[in-house]
Amino acid sequence: MDTVTVASCEHRPGQSAGMKLLCHTFHAMGGPCEVRLYAAGDAQAERAARAVEAEVRRLEARYSRYRSDSIATHINRSAGSGQSIELDTETAALIDYAHAAWEQSGGLFDISSGVLRRAWDFKLARVPDQARIDEVLTLVGWHKIRWRSPFIELPLKGMELDFGGYVKEYAADCAAAAARACGAHHGFVELGGDIALIGAHPDGTPWEIGIRNPRHPERAIATIALSRGAIASSGDYERFFESDGKRYSHLQDPRSGWPVQGLAAVSVVADECLIAGTATTIAMLKGESAGLEWLQQLGLPYLCIDARGRMHRNRRLDHALLSS
């Protein structure tokens, strides 16, 4: 890892005497990353920032499908070989989590569905024909995978597991924990828009967090106050193209192979960023009516924007909502 440079941020409410609000930015997991924290001095800030970045890069190295030496690539290379792979404790726990999310989502949260990118090329911005989608769908389906912890087998050549749908949120939680282990108690970690709090400002003042407008992502559609926990967001603005007036996003139903419609964006607050991120993904995949019903039943604070720009939220979010 390169030398960590921690810069002073602007003065913020809650900044106490002897404590400086400091920032460190870096790029990992396909997007911008930032840690903001209060520290008594540069040495403590650098130590905590270094620990945050190291933890994010550790998890990227383990689970990126773009790396030839990652665990994800090792698993995927074994597909169709008839051989099972024995997983370490951390990876087995992540697979167990994905299995539980698959069950609770009715099969919508499926980490085998990343192969749909072979049909949907967002750089070409072209709608594939149904025959191509059907061909790729033969390789999709968590129920086809043989999982007996800690052993996993991908029975069909060409099948893949993609940890990208939830490892970033897991990394945010791990990175915040790493900062706390270095003595940081006030701040947050942000990985590509998903945020895990280290703690409130030193005087207890919450952090003010903007939620993106899905049709104008450079702007905030609402601002909420958080002192603990995490917030994650998902939307059809992350990767998409438009054809004949219709938007096609990277969020695809693993059963049909087609991008889902109905919700433009979902943000969820939870104790852990991993939980919040999974909730947003499942809600988006369920669509407007079923997604909103599912979020209500889940009981976590949420804010959704539907395809017509209407805002939906539950009462649990109201106490944290500063503006909308």
Question: DSSP letter string over 138-151?
Answer: TT--GGGSEEETTE
What CATH number is attached to the domain comprising 305?
A: 3.10.520.10
Please indicate, yes or no, whether residues 139 and 186 belong to a single structural domain of this protein: no
Q: Is residue 57 part of a domain?
A: yes
> Do 316 and 275 lie in a common domain?
yes
How many angstroms separate the Cα of 214 from the Cα of each of 27, 73, 145, 211, 293? 23, 33, 35, 9, 21
- The C-alpha torsion from 52 through 54 and 55 to 58, rounded to 10°, is 160
pLDDT band at 3 (very low <50, low <70, confident <90, very high): very low
Are 276 and 300 in contact by the 8 Å Cβ rule? The answer is: yes
Buried b (16+ CB within 10 A) or exposed e, 120-151: beeeeeebbeeeebeebbebbbbeebebeebe
Residue 188: pLDDT above 90?
yes
Domain count, the chain: 3
Q: Are residues 235 and 275 in the same domain?
A: yes
Q: Please tell me what DSSP assigns to residue 259.
A: B
Judge whether residue 43 has pLDDT over 90.
Answer: no
Reply yes or no on whether the pLDDT at 9 is more than 80. no
Q: What is the CA radius of gyration of the chain?
A: 20
pLDDT at 319 over 80: no
Domain containing 49: what range? 1-65+165-192
Rounded distance, CA 177 to CA 59, Å?
14
Both 27 and 170 in one domain: the answer is yes
- Rounded Cα distance between 82 and 84, Å, is 7
The two tokens of residue 273 are 């960023």
* DSSP three-state, residue 89: helix
* Judgement on whether residues 225 and 311 belong to the same structural domain of the protein: yes
Same-domain check for residues 94 and 40:
no
Based on the fold, state whether residues 3 and 101 are members of the same structural domain.
Answer: no
Mean pLDDT of the chain: 92
Inform me whether the pLDDT recorded for 320 exceeds 80. no
| Per-residue model confidence (pLDDT) at position 237 | 86
Same domain, 37 and 173: yes
Q: Residue 77 maps to which CATH number?
A: 1.10.3980.10
In a domain, 270, yes or no: yes
DSSP secondary structure letter of residue 252 = B
Q: Which tens digit of pLDDT belongs to each residue from 90-116?
A: 999 999 999 999 999 999 999 999 999
Higher-pLDDT residue of 201 and 10 is 201
> Rounded to an integer, what distance in angstroms lies between the CA atom of residue 204 and that of residue 15?
10
Residue 144 or 307, more confident: 144
Query: Which pLDDT value is given to residue 8?
Result: 58
- Residue 114 sits at the vertex; the CA angle it makes with 295 and 56, to the nearest 5 degrees, is 80
Weakest-pLDDT range from 12-26, 59-73, 169-183, 249-263: 12-26
Examine the domain organization and report whether 121 and 173 are in the same domain.
Answer: no
Q: What's the full length of the chain, in residues?
A: 324
Kindly report, residue by residue over 254-274, the tens digit of the pLDDT: 999 999 989 999 999 999 999
Report helix angle 288-298 to 273-286, nearest 10.
150
Residue 244 lies in a domain: yes
Query: Is 321 in the same domain as 214?
Result: yes
- The confidence score (pLDDT) of residue 317 equals 83
What percent of the chain clears pLDDT 90, i.e. is strictly above it? Answer: 78
Query: Do the Cβ atoms of 184 and 176 come closer than 8 Å?
Result: no
pTM exceeds 0.85, yes or no: yes
- Cα 289 from chain centroid? 23
Same domain, 5 and 87: no
Q: Residue 320: helix, strand or coil by DSSP?
A: coil
Does some domain include residue 277? yes
Per cent of the chain over pLDDT 70 is 94
| Whether residues 2 and 107 fall in one domain | no
Q: Is residue 199 part of a domain?
A: no
Which residue type sits at 111?
I
Does residue 118 sit within a domain? yes
289-293 mean pLDDT: 95
State the pLDDT confidence band at 12, using cuts at 50, 70 and 90.
low
Evaluated on CA atoms 246, 247, 248, 253, the torsion sign reads negative
In this structure, is residue 201 part of a structural domain?
no
pLDDT confidence of residue 20: 84
* Angle at alpha carbon of residue 171, lines to 323 and 157, rounded to 5°: 120
Question: Torsion over CA of 45, 50, 55 and 58, rounded to 10 degrees?
Answer: 170
CA distance 136 to 113: 9
Task: Give the pLDDT band (50/70/90) at residue 16.
Answer: low
What integer pLDDT is reported at residue 18 of this predicted model? 65
98 assigned to some structural domain: yes
pLDDT at 1 over 50: no
- Token pair 């924007």 is at which residue? 305
